[in-house]
Amino acid sequence: MVSKILCAIGAISGLLAHLVSSAAVPPIPGYAVVDVEWALPIDPKVSTGPREVVTGTIQEAIAKMAATHPGWDLPLTSHLNFTNHLNTAPARHNMLTNLDDNKPLSQECKFNSGKGKADCSAIRDGAGYLARIPDNSAPPRNSPKSCGRVSCSWDSAIWWCNDNHFEKEVTWDAIAKIAWDLQAQCASEPFYTHVSARQFMEGNWNVYVTGDFC
C-alpha cells in the first residue's frame, strides 16, 4: 500500500515538474508572458465569416480549432511554403518597409536565451503559419514590458516582445518576415541548421527565434 502511494506521489511530482518546465518563460528576464489570442474563422476558406477565439501558440490554436471543427487545419497546413506565400502577396509584404514601426534596428545573431537554439526548419514552418493568417484577423498585441510566444514546435520558438510602457500592436506579417529573416541570416555553424537570434525594431519592439520547451 505504501509503495503504491509513493508511486502515485512520484507520478504526480513528475507531472508537475513537466508542467513547470513546459511553462512559457520569456526570452528576456523581467518581462511578463501574455497569452496570445487568435480570432480564427470557423471556416478557414471564408475569412469574413464567424470567428472563434483561441489562445496559445499558432500550433496550439490550430490544434484547438481542428479538435472542435474536424478538418479545419487542412487548408492552412497543406503545401506550407512561406517563400511561395511571399511571392503570391508581394505588395502586402513590401508594405512592411514603409511602416516606421517595422524598420529594423540592430540584430543579434548570437543571442543566448538559456534555452538553446531553435531548429531553422521549425522556425520556417512557424513563420509560414503566421504568414497565412487572414489579413482581416485581429493583430497581435502585447501589454507593456511583456512577450508573447506566437509559435513553438520541436523545441523551437518565435517570440515577440513589447519594450514600451504602453500596449503595442504590430502585424502577423511583420513577425513572420522577421522570424524568417533571422533564421536565414543568423543560422550558426557548422551546418547552419540552428539559430538563436533577435531583431530590434523601431517602435521599441523585437522578435526572437530561439530554443524553447514545446
Domain boundaries, given as residue ranges, for the chain: 2-211
Model pLDDT for residues 104-150, shown as the tens digit of each residue: 888 999 999 999 999 999 999 999 999 988 777 788 999 999 999 99
Q: What is the pTM of this model?
A: 0.80
Q: What are the residues whose beta carbons fall under 8 Å from the beta carbon of 158, sequence distance 6 or more? A: 123, 126, 127, 130, 149, 150, 151, 152, 175, 179, 207, 208, 209
Residue pLDDT, tens place only, 182-214: 999 999 877 889 999 999 999 999 999 999 999
pLDDT digits (tens, 9 = 90+) for 70-87: 988 776 665 444 444 443
